[in-house]
Amino acid sequence: MQPLRFENKTLLVLDQTRLPNNIAYLKITRHTELIDAINKLCIRGAPAIGIAAGYGIALGARHIKKGNMREFLEELEILTKNITSTRPTAYNLFRVASTMRAVANRAANPVQAKNLLMQEAVKIHNDQCELDLTLSRNGSALVEDNASILTHCNTGRLATGGYGTALGVIAYAHRQNKKIKVIATETRPLLQGARLTALELREAGIPFHIITDLMAGHLMQRDRINMVITGADRIAANGDTANKIGTYSLAILARQHNIPFYIAAPSSTFDCETKTGKDIVIEERSPEEVTHLMGTPITTPQAQAFNPAFDITPSSLITSFITEKGIIPPGEVCRLNNI
């Protein structure tokens, strides 16, 4: 089950809003269709959004009619900004946008730019698979035999287009026969854990239990969790990490119970230009995602709701970052070219 496939000049996007019950692919040929798919979370997870953005920019470029390079680049910039404005926290989106800009700027004319952009989009996709596998192997070294691992949100193939980050580490450890067990939070409000992580764990044959988000503290207090591994949407230069709402609470609970708390992320999620977590924009999504559950109202129609999609875990609560470049302590990210 691939979240993204590029075939016959069309981007096929697995509609993750319909999982686990339906497997349906959207056929995307224009960047405007991709923007809609990202906004609705048909494609989600920072690395997968980045890959999708690469294809979206390349597809959008193909429809630019201007023969003059300056006008071509101006139109490309407008459509690129429209794509990056979809999910402000996911750093991979911005990193891919700047890579694609640089590629277009190197071209001699729009025809060459269109070809180079498409080649780059494919390369970004292939590179992600490599990064994921290496970071998963690195992270697996931290997993002990018979470990019970808590994870949050969805960080597998569906979220990265590759092997996964936190879930990649878990899958790698399982492949090494470490006899692990997974506790996956359901991840309110949109249930990425219950809907997507459960599906991926089942497909990989990894034993797991789903819990509601607020059960984590109890399980930690009863010694039923040995380590926590989550992914990240953006990591600031000081190691403060934006990830799915609820990650911060899990990190505090882990600290209280002396449980190691790891963030697994490729170097493409590290934003060394942003100094601390305070400078990271947190995406606010529609209140309806909180007042409704899978489309059904669960509160009084008069209820207002907050819906921050992410929170910031301070670097002081993070044991280490698991990356393709190795295991990096929080104080050392963005230093000595290690990211």
Cα 62 to Cα 30, 57, 75, 114, 202, distances in angstroms: 9, 9, 11, 6, 39
Check residue 193 for interaction with ligand MRU (CB under 6 A). Answer: no
- How far apart, in Å, are the Cα atoms of 232 and each of 60, 106, 222? 28, 31, 27
Catalytic residues: 233
Nearer to ligand MRU, 61 or 92 (CB): 92
47 binds ligand MRU (CB under 6 A): yes
Nearer to ligand MRU by C-beta: 110 or 330?
A: 330
Strand locations in the chain (E): 4-7, 10-14, 25-28, 148-151, 181-185, 208-211, 227-230, 234-236, 241-244, 261-264, 270-271, 292-293, 296-297, 310-313, 320-323, 326-328
Of the residues 244, 261, 315, 324, which one makes contact with ligand MRU according to CB under 6 A: 244
Interface with ligand MRU, residue 233, by CB under 6 A: yes
Residue 44 binds ligand MRU, judged by CB under 6 A: yes
Task: Tell me the site size for ligand MRU, rule CB under 6 A.
Answer: 16
Closest CA to 68 of 115, 106, 109: 109
Give the interface segment with ligand MRU, choosing from 23-31, 159-167, 250-258, 331-339 (CB under 6 A): 159-167
Start-to-end Cα distance in the chain: 30
Footprint (CB under 6 A) of ligand MRU, residues 272-331: 309
- Residue 231 is a binding residue for ligand MRU (CB under 6 A): yes
Stretch 113-152: interaction string toward ligand MRU, x if CB under 6 A: ----------------------------------------
Contact 142, 227 (CB under 8 A): yes
Contact window for ligand MRU (CB under 6 A) among 43-51, 98-106, 110-118, 293-301: 43-51
Q: Least separation, in Å, of the C-beta of 243 and ligand MRU?
A: 5
By the rule CB under 6 A, 250 interacts with ligand MRU: no
Spell out the residues 6+ positions from residue 325 whose beta carbon is closer than 8 angstroms to its own.
Answer: 267, 338, 339
Residue count of the chain, please give it: 339
By the rule CB under 6 A, 159 interacts with ligand MRU: yes
Give the shortest CB-47-to-ligand MRU separation in angstroms: 5
Site for ligand MRU in 252-271 (CB under 6 A): none
Euclidean distance between CA atoms 67 and 187, whole angstroms: 48
**Which of 13, 35, 42, 45 is close enough to bind ligand MRU by CB under 6 A?**
45
Q: Which stretch binds ligand MRU (CB under 6 A): 17-25, 42-50, 68-76, 209-217?
A: 42-50
Query: Side-chain half-sphere of 203: how many Cα atoms within 13 Å?
Result: 13
**CA–CA gap between residue 311 and residue 108 (Å, rounded):** 43
Among the listed residues 210, 312, 301, the one whose alpha carbon sits nearest the alpha carbon of residue 271: 312
232 near ligand MRU, judged by CB under 6 A = yes
How many whole angstroms from its chain centre is CA 226?
Answer: 24
What residue ranges bind ligand MRU (CB under 6 A)?
Answer: 44-47, 153, 155, 159-160, 165, 192, 231-233, 243-244, 309
